[in-house]
Amino acid sequence: MTDLFEPLPESAGTRRKENTRTKLVRASLDVFVEKGVDGATVDDLVRAAGFTRGAFYSNFSTKEEVFAALFASVTEEMLTIADSSVEKAVEGAHGDEDAQMMVAVFEGIRPFGRQWYLLYSDAVARSLRDETMRAELAVQRERLRDRIGKMLTTRMGENGSRLLLPAEDLAQLLVGVFVDLMVREQMDGRDVTELAATTILGTLHAFVEPGDA
C-alpha cells in the first residue's frame, strides 16, 4: 500500500500531546481502510498507533471523531498533491494545458485511489445516517471542489477561455469523474491512463469555450 503520510519528525516534549493525536489519526488510516468505521474498534486504533486506551481517550471520545480527523487530514494531503501536480503540469505543458492540468491532478491522487475511495464511500454511507458526519463530509467535499474550481478559474483567466457553467459545478463534475475512474481501476483491475485522459479531455471540451472561439 502506498504511504499517504510522510513520517512525523521527532517531537519536543511540549508537543507530545499534539503528536500523540496526530499519530493516532495517521495510524488509523490502514485500520479504517481495511475495516471501515463500523468494523474498526478503539483497540484496533490504539494497537495500530502503539498507544494505550488512556492515550486514546485523552485525545478523542469516539472512533468516529478519529475518522473525521483522518478524513480531514487525507483531504489536506490530496489538496497538496493536486497543487503540486498542477505546478508540474503547467511547467511542462504543451497544447491543451487545461486538460493536461486536470489529468495531472488525477494522476497525482491515483496512487492513493483505493485508500481515498474506501474512506470517501464510508464517509458518505455514515453521513446518510449521521448529521454530524454529514456536516464534516460537506466541509471536506467543499474544500476539494473549491480548490479544483480555483485551479480552473485561474487557468481560464490566464488563457482567456470561458466556463460554460459555474466553476464549482464543473469542479464537482470532475471530482465525480475522478471517483468513477478510481473505482473502475480498482474493481476491474484495469489501467485507466488512456481512459482518464480522454474522459477528462471530453468533459473539459464540453464545458469550456476556448479563448479564440
User: Is 2 within a domain?
Assistant: no
Which residues form the domain of 34? 7-61
Give the CATH number, domain containing residue 24. 1.10.10.60
119 lies in the same domain as 165: yes
Return the bridge partners of 25, or none: none
Kindly state whether residues 126 and 75 are assigned to the same domain. Answer: yes
Answer yes or no: do 21 and 125 share one domain: no
> Using CB atoms within 10 A of its CB, is residue 176 exposed (0-12), middle (13-18) or buried (19+)?
exposed
171 has a pLDDT exceeding 60:
yes
- Backbone dihedral angles phi then psi of residue 163, each to the nearest 5 degrees: -80, 135
Answer yes or no: do 157 and 167 share one domain: yes
Cα separation of 144 and 156, whole Å? 19
The tally of domains found in the chain comes to 2
- What pLDDT shows up at residue 88? 81
Do 33 and 121 fall within a single domain?
A: no
Q: What is the per-residue pLDDT across 79-132, written as a single tens digit (0 to 9) for each?
A: 999 988 888 877 765 556 777 888 999 999 999 989 999 999 999 999 999 998
Task: State whether residue 212 is helix, strand or coil.
Answer: coil
- In terms of domains, do 136 and 41 share one? no
Of 192 and 157, the one with more pLDDT: 192
